[in-house]
Amino acid sequence: MIKTIECSQEGIVRILDQSRLPLEEVYIECRDHLEVAEAIRKMRIRGAPAIGVAAAIALALGAQKIQADSFEGFYSKLQDLAETLAGTRPTAVNLFWALGCMKRCALDFKDLPLQALKERLREEAQRILEEDINTNRALGREGKGLIHDGASILTHCNTGALATAGYGTALGVVRAAFEEGKRLTVYVDETRPYLQGARLTAWELQKEGIPFVLITDNMAGYFMKQGKIDMVMVGADRIAANGDVANKIGTYGLAVLAREHNIPFYVAAPLSTLDLGLPSGEEIPIEERDPEEVTQFLGTPIAPPGAQAANPAFDITPARLVSAIVTEVGIARPPYKDSLRDLRQRAWHRPKAG
Ligand code: MRU
């Protein structure tokens, strides 16, 4: 399986540099939390669950170097590090979820000697990484029944092993159906401007031998109208209590097109992507990235010098356009306010995914 991120006993974090795929398969080495933060900001590692895992590992790494005479002194410095990491990317809630798990771990073990506490934090980050893979596999098991033999699935951005610690969310569901022997074709949106579809999803699917057709974003409606698409399956960066979904820019347009053509629109995401404290998608912060990602491609200008460009990285798909939300503990259907809350409660009463 592709290794998105790993941390050695010596505290070196190896990250597969996704900004260079598919042309080069290169791992970068980060030696402190600031280098990991920079890798997240520059999208060398990206995808909501992977960002969360990277932040947890970075916080554990930073914690090893904290000098303090008391737990209070230690915790205050840990919070400063967490704040730096929280400032890297604002939309994917998994980042804040993972940092929350790490801080809770510190509080749970506050009575331990400092060295032992630091070790616990290292273990917690590793637990978050391993749990992410198990969660994705469970998500695949829950969702694969939505995909029938011979299905054509349109997907957007990258939601595979690269976007997680391994296996993937929406692409994990596709993978699970494929592993079961179902024949399927994935229509891969190239996903401008960062080209996660063309560069990353196509790369992953090719490695796995899963049949796919790469299309530009503006071809989706054409293929839907031709009857070539049976369903849309995407991931999420944050899901509000009413089921509104923040995901890669362009997702909303796909959902509108899917509704027009009577095609089911599915979202697959772990429970760590739920933000039930937010009533609706209106409150989800949308990351604005450098307009150069739009005016340039791999450093080459593709617009006249000085052209104004906008670069919102995500959009909100209203819950009414979402047919179902697949999680690791089951599938939520409208009304999401009830079904998402029920799934969250079910997770509390169930042993961990494995
Ligand atoms: O900007 P990115 O590449 O981090 O955006 C990723 C997405 O939008 C994914 O669809 C989402 O994080 C789900 S990944 C399992």
Digit-coded pLDDT (tens) for 271-325: 999 999 999 999 999 999 999 999 998 789 999 999 999 999 999 999 999 999 9
Q: Are strands 212-215 and 184-189 parallel, antiparallel or unpaired?
A: parallel
Report residue 156's pLDDT band, with 50, 70 and 90 as the boundaries.
Answer: very high
Out of 21, 42, 157, 317, give the residue to mutate to test ligand 1, the one with the largest number of ligand atoms within 8 Å of its CB. Answer: 157
352: pLDDT strictly greater than 70: no
Residue of 64, 53, 62, 60 lying closest to 5 (CA atoms):
53
Out of 95, 171, 237, give the residue to mutate to test ligand 1, the one with the largest number of ligand atoms within 8 Å of its CB. Answer: 237
Helices (H) and strands (E) in the chain, counts: 11, 16
Digit-coded pLDDT (tens) for 192-218: 999 999 999 999 999 999 999 999 999
CATH code: domain 145-348 is 3.40.50.10470
Q: What are phi and psi of 160, to 5 degrees?
A: -95, -155
**Alpha carbon nearest to ligand 1 atom 2, residue:** 47
What average pLDDT does the structure give for the chain?
Answer: 96
**Alpha carbon nearest to ligand 1 atom 15, residue:** 159
pLDDT, residue 288, reads 98
Q: What are phi and psi of 331, to 5 degrees?
A: -110, 125
Domain ranges of the chain: 5-137, 145-348
b/e string for 323-335 if b means 16 or more Cβ within 10 A?
Answer: bbbbbbbbbbeee
Digit-coded pLDDT (tens) for 23-49: 999 999 999 999 999 999 999 999 999
CA of 24 to the centre of ligand 1 (A): 21
237 assigned to active site: yes
- Retrieve residue 279's tokens: 């009533």
Q: Which of 132, 189, 237, 275 is catalytic?
A: 237
CA of 277 to the centre of ligand 1 (A): 21
How far is the C-alpha of 344 from the C-alpha of 64, rounded, in Å?
A: 33
- Retrieve residue 4's tokens: 């998105």
Residue of 13, 91, 115, 112 lying closest to 54 (CA atoms):
13
Out of 42, 167, 196, give the residue to mutate to test ligand 1, the one with the largest number of ligand atoms within 8 Å of its CB. Answer: 196
CA dihedral 77, 52, 125, 31 (to 10 degrees): -70
350: pLDDT strictly greater than 80: no
342: pLDDT strictly greater than 90: yes
CA of 269 to the centre of ligand 1 (A): 10
pLDDT, residue 351, reads 60
CA dihedral 110, 114, 120, 124 (to 10 degrees): 80
Question: Which residues, judged by CB distance below 6 Å to any ligand atom, belong to the binding site of ligand 1?
Answer: 46-49, 92, 157, 159, 163-164, 169, 196, 235-237, 247-248, 313
- Retrieve residue 117's tokens: 């506490």
How far is the C-alpha of 128 from the C-alpha of 102, rounded, in Å?
A: 9
306, with CB counted inside 10 A (0-12, 13-18, 19+), is exposed
**Alpha carbon nearest to ligand 1 atom 10, residue:** 235
* β-pair partners for 198: none
Q: 243: Cβ–Cβ under 8 A, 6 or more apart, which residues?
A: 319, 322, 325, 332, 334, 335, 336, 337, 340
Digit-coded pLDDT (tens) for 115-154: 999 999 999 999 999 999 999 999 999 999 999 999 999 9
pLDDT, residue 25, reads 96
Local structure of 160: helix, strand or coil: coil
b/e string for 120-132 if b means 16 or more Cβ within 10 A?
Answer: bbbebbbebbebb
**Alpha carbon nearest to ligand 1 atom 6, residue:** 47
With a pLDDT cut of 90, the percent of the chain lying above it is 95
CA of 163 to the centre of ligand 1 (A): 7
CA of 91 to the centre of ligand 1 (A): 10
Regarding the domain delimited by 5-137, which CATH topology (the fold level of the hierarchy) does it fall under?
Answer: Four Helix Bundle (Hemerythrin (Met), subunit A) (1.20.120)
